[in-house]
Amino acid sequence: MAPRATPCNTKHPHLLAFARPMSKLWDQFGAVYKIRVEETSVKNISMGLMDGKKGIVFGVANDRSLAWHIAERLHAEGAELAFTHLPPAKMERRVRILAEPLGATCIVPCDVTDDAQIKAAFQEANRQIGHLDFIIHAIAFASRSSLSNPFHKTSRADFLQAMEISAFSLVALCQHGLRYLNEGASVLTLSYLGAMKVVPQYNVMGVCKAALESSVRYLAADLGREKHIRVNAISAGPVQTLSAAGVSGFDKILRHYPQKSPLHRNIRAHEVATSGLYFLSDLSSGVTGEVHYVDAGYNTIGW
Ligand code: NAP
């Protein structure tokens, strides 16, 4: 049966040409508005879950960084934060502009390929804010060519550099940070599904994330024994950030998730932040050595 004509599309066909794009625009506006309202309402709820807790954040590049979203959430819950940045002054400015409005005064340089800088960062954080209750490790790097060429063409130098910055750095932070961490502290890192499955162009970073996730389990066993410190990872779905832009074809991945994931959408950065809050607060006091997916369920789908 043919659809019944409405007065509008029979009498004023010229209006229809205008009305359709307008209604599409309105739907889009509605969706964006709904997301903003959801984000704002989540951000505005504070339960004081981090009152009295102090921690250090590695991996803020700008206000899109996943580390930044987690930091903002923790601050809203009462945490006191220290931040690190890569040594160049430009990087310091980028972090300072975000961190200072949160009341952070400890903003220290740290390239994780240099043990002396890691040591100095922890010493300075300890001097300024005292012993720490958490560490956020949100650091990854691989050369552009290794994220665009076929994986088997990865050079030795690119492989080792990616491993050092993206996986070993978590071990190094735990090594140097341990003496400054309180009993029962929590360490959180960020991973991606490419650790477990082949994701086009994720290449060497997938191998690094596999090493990172395995390191989480070994570190959890060591630090749990030492000081009841917990170590966990969030495996996040794709989010537009500076690092993500380095993965060639990243926008294809972004378009793929809403088609396949059980929630039929991409995740939002604030969802990584609320899960981060869970791992860094006492809400997850019995959880360690875990890799927790925040990916709209994508990892559960097998087709
Ligand atoms: P981002 O904002 O670019 O953060 C990456 C951070 O790593 C930057 O602050 C970068 O500093 C820092 N970094 C790189 N090399 C470093 C070094 N040698 N020493 C110290 N810091 C260094 O991107 P992001 O997406 O939020 O990434 C954070 C973490 O989330 C990464 O581990 C990433 O793999 C993971 N993750 C991201 C997604 C996603 O879709 N975005 C999904 C799953 C997991 P500079 O910018 O100053 O170089």
Sketch out the chain's domains with CATH numbers: 49-298 (3.40.50.720)
Spatial separation of the C-alpha atoms in residues 46 and 43, rounded to whole Å: 8
Q: Which CA distances in Å does 146 have to 113, 156, 182, 246? A: 19, 11, 39, 10
Q: What pairs with residue 132 in β-bridges?
A: 181
Closest residue CA from atom 7 of ligand 1? 139
Q: In the chain, which ranges are continuous DSSP H helix?
A: 7-11, 13-44, 66-76, 89-99, 115-129, 156-163, 169-177, 203-227, 242-245, 250-260, 269-280
Q: Which two tokens stand for residue 45?
A: 């709820």
Q: What pLDDT, on the 0 to 100 scale, is given for residue 98? A: 98
Closest residue CA from atom 23 of ligand 1? 243
Q: How far is the CA of 244 from the centre of ligand 1 (A)?
A: 8
What single letter denotes the amino acid at residue 103? G
Residue 60 alpha carbon, nearest atom of ligand 1 = 9
Given the residues 33, 180, 192, 257, the one annotated as active site: 192
Q: What pLDDT, on the 0 to 100 scale, is given for residue 231? A: 98
Closest residue CA from atom 29 of ligand 1? 138
Q: How far is the CA of 167 from the centre of ligand 1 (A)?
A: 12
Residue 132 main-chain phi, psi, to 5 deg: -110, 150
Q: Which residue has the tokens 């378009």?
A: 255
Residue 85 alpha carbon, nearest atom of ligand 1 = 47
Spatial separation of the C-alpha atoms in residues 158 and 139, rounded to whole Å: 16
How far is C-alpha 11 from the chain's CA centre?
A: 53
Predicted model pTM: 0.89
Q: What pLDDT, on the 0 to 100 scale, is given for residue 278? A: 98
CB neighbour burial string for 155-170, b if at least 16 within 10 angstroms, e if fewer: eeebbebbbebbbbbb
Closest residue CA from atom 41 of ligand 1? 239
Q: How far is the CA of 302 from the centre of ligand 1 (A)?
A: 28
pLDDT tens series, the chain, 303 aa: 333 333 333 344 444 444 444 444 444 444 444 445 455 555 567 899 999 999 999 999 999 999 999 999 999 999 999 999 999 999 999 999 999 999 999 999 999 999 999 999 999 999 999 999 999 999 999 999 999 999 999 999 999 999 999 999 999 999 999 999 999 999 999 999 999 999 999 999 999 999 999 999 999 999 999 999 999 999 999 999 999 998 888 999 999 999 999 999 999 999 999 999 999 999 999 999 999 999 999 999 998
Q: Find the residues whose C-beta lies inside 6 A of ligand 1.
A: 59-61, 65-67, 86, 91, 110-113, 138-141, 165, 190-192, 236, 238-239, 241-244
Q: How far is the CA of 192 from the centre of ligand 1 (A)?
A: 12
Give catalytic status of residue 202 as yes or no.
Answer: yes
Give catalytic status of residue 192 as yes or no.
Answer: yes
Q: How far is the CA of 100 from the centre of ligand 1 (A)?
A: 20
Given the residues 202, 257, 293, 298, the one annotated as active site: 202
CB neighbour burial string for 197-227, b if at least 16 within 10 angstroms, e if fewer: eebebbbbbbbbbebbbebbbebbebbeeee
Spatial separation of the C-alpha atoms in residues 44 and 125, rounded to whole Å: 28
Spatial separation of the C-alpha atoms in residues 288 and 127, rounded to whole Å: 28
Closest residue CA from atom 20 of ligand 1? 111
Burial of 120 (0-12, 13-18, 19+ CB in 10 A): middle
Closest residue CA from atom 6 of ligand 1? 59
CB neighbour burial string for 75-88, b if at least 16 within 10 angstroms, e if fewer: bbbebbbbbbbbee
Rounding to the nearest 10 degrees, give the CA dihedral for residues 114, 126, 218, 170: -30
Spatial separation of the C-alpha atoms in residues 286 and 97, rounded to whole Å: 36
Q: How far is the CA of 242 from the centre of ligand 1 (A)?
A: 7
Spatial separation of the C-alpha atoms in residues 49 and 78, rounded to whole Å: 7
